[in-house]
A and B are shown apart, each in its own frame.
Chain A
Amino acid sequence: MTARALRTAAWKRYNLRIIWLSLLYCAFLLPAVYGFKHHLITGAAAWIAAVLPALPIIGIFGAMGRYLVEEPDEYVRMLTVRQMLWAMGFTLSCATIWGFLDNFGLVGHVDGYWIVVLWYFGQAIGSIANRVTLGDGRC
């Protein structure tokens, strides 16, 4: 299947949602970082400012779920599901290993959002796995 054929209408809608959510993420993150850096935010406002940048990322996961529901091409959907399974296995495995290394005092604590960074990296691994095992895939 060519790369062009893999870009279905559902995939294009998904990309559009991701762009909007990414813009929203920047809009929430930058003021939050500025506010915390200059000690402008305290109390309940600190909680709200910390949670706001997380919401667009959660929206991205929601967009992925919606893409899976909307994608009519079964083969493309299967490729995406395989990619997500690889990402999930990779992320949870890394989190488990790091957690035990941390528990046994070998490494320090890390911020939880690195899990999501790992997950995106895992998506790339899933794409490579699709290419290697099925000769098809998209990044």
Chain B
Amino acid sequence: MIAAKQSDMTPAQRAHVRRILWLLLVYALVLPPLVWLRATQHVGDGILLAMAIAASLPVLGIFASWGRYVSDERDEYHRSLTLGRIAIATNVTMGAAVVWGFLQAFGVMPLIETYWVPFVWVIMQGMFGCVEFFSRKGGQQ
């Protein structure tokens, strides 16, 4: 079953998934000690800056991996599916950010950390991935 699923993937998709898994692993390893350090120890601003950048880097790597995937993908159908998904996820995320932004600016909603923006983007990607998967499965039945 898994072998069949793997063979469905293009080489660029396999490389992209591999990169994402490694980056998520790095993220999972890097973030908890940084959060613990911030919560329990008093650290200087320079160290805090390095900690914030260290926590950001794997997430930045994930965005770079998407860019590389789009550039590496030779299958035009898969590339167009991905670009469509990225376009929708970006538009929904930007829409959410601008609505929240104005609600914040006019004092209706509280201010939040900006990393929730990429979080919404990733959730959108996942949602459209699920929609594509189930619509494909529905089409096969």
Interface residues of A (CB under 8 A from B): 32, 36, 46-47, 49-51, 53-54, 57-58, 61-62, 64-65, 68, 81, 84-85, 88-89, 91-106, 109-116, 119
Contact = CB atoms under 8 A, between A and B. Distances in A.
B3 interface: no
B11 to A, nearest CB: 20
A100 B111 contact: no
Given A101-B52, A111-B102, A112-B97, 10 more contacts: A50-B105, A92-B121, A95-B114, A99-B118, A101-B49, A104-B51, A106-B45, A110-B114, A112-B96, A113-B102
B20 interface: no
Contacts, number: 160
A12 B9 CA distance: 39
Contacts of A46: 106-108
Contacts of B113: 99, 102-103, 109
Contacts of B117: 91-92, 95, 99, 112, 115
A74 to B, nearest CB: 11
A89 B90 contact: no
B98 A95 contact: no
B28 interface: no
Interface residues of B, number: 47
Contact of A84 (B90, B96, B97): B90
Nearest to A78: B83
Nearest to B115: A99
B91 to A, nearest CB: 4
Contact of A113 (B34, B48, B105, B107): B105
Nearest to B64: A89
B38 to A, nearest CB: 6
Contact of B91 (A50, A65, A112): A65
Nearest to A110: B114
Contacts of A104: 34, 38, 48-49, 51-52, 55
A13 to B, nearest CB: 18
Contact of B104 (A97, A100, A105, A112): A112
